Structure 1
């Protein structure tokens, strides 16, 4: 890669001749780094398994125990969530029943009030008014 030397009043600046050369070079270096990182990680994992202080049978038993433990925790969490959901549903049903009871009581009060007013109105229509009565002769 070649560089052109350009100067500014504040400092000397060295710029690459082409941006493409820098980009390609950076990509090649990053690709090499990534491949090395992955290979190193896999190598470390293999070495860790080979030099583990446990036998394969012990490792399988440990994996089995941990999976059973995780399954039990998941089952317990599910049961707790179901219990909370059931309690919430029961509270909602109780609240809905209470609201329905209040609504029935209030609607009966309104019905009785309207019925009483209706009776009063009908009675007032049935009673003759004094002005409607014929004068006694």
Structure 2
């Protein structure tokens, strides 16, 4: 049995099981949809809270990491000086470029 046919069998079995569960559910369609909306909303809220916690933990870790560094490195500041700036290119029309009116 190849991996592709095994994966296809699992996918078809899952879809068939979901369809049968939906058809033989003890609730009406409206009740089922309402319950699913509530469950999805709860899952979304839990995911948002988990993401917020992860972001706060990352910020705390980063702040501690920056506070523990012995030497704070200042960013490099570049000055724009005529000696450091390349001259502007000179543009000329090449003979093989034609502009049609």
Q: TM-score, normalised by structure 1?
A: 0.38
In structure 2, the residue matched to 1:95 is 68
In structure 1, the residue matched to 2:95 is none
> Larger Cα Rg: Structure 1 or Structure 2?
1
Cα gap change, 1:66 to 1:90, in 2 (>3 Å): same
Runs of 4+ in structure 1 deviating by more than 6 angstroms, as ranges, are none
Q: How many angstroms apart in 1 are the aligned matches of 2:44 and 2:18? A: 26
Cα gap change, 1:88 to 1:48, in 2 (>3 Å): closer
In structure 1, the residue matched to 2:21 is 48
**Runs of 5+ in structure 2 lacking a partner?**
1-8, 73-101
Determine whether 1:64 maps to 2:37: yes
**Runs of 5+ in structure 1 lacking a partner?**
1-34, 102-137
Residues paired across the two proteins, number: 63
RMSD: 3.0
In structure 2, the residue matched to 1:74 is 47
Q: TM-score, normalised by structure 2?
A: 0.50
> 1:100 Cα shift?
2.3
Instruction: Say which structure, 1 or 2, has more relative contact order (CA 8 Å, 6+ apart).
Output: 1
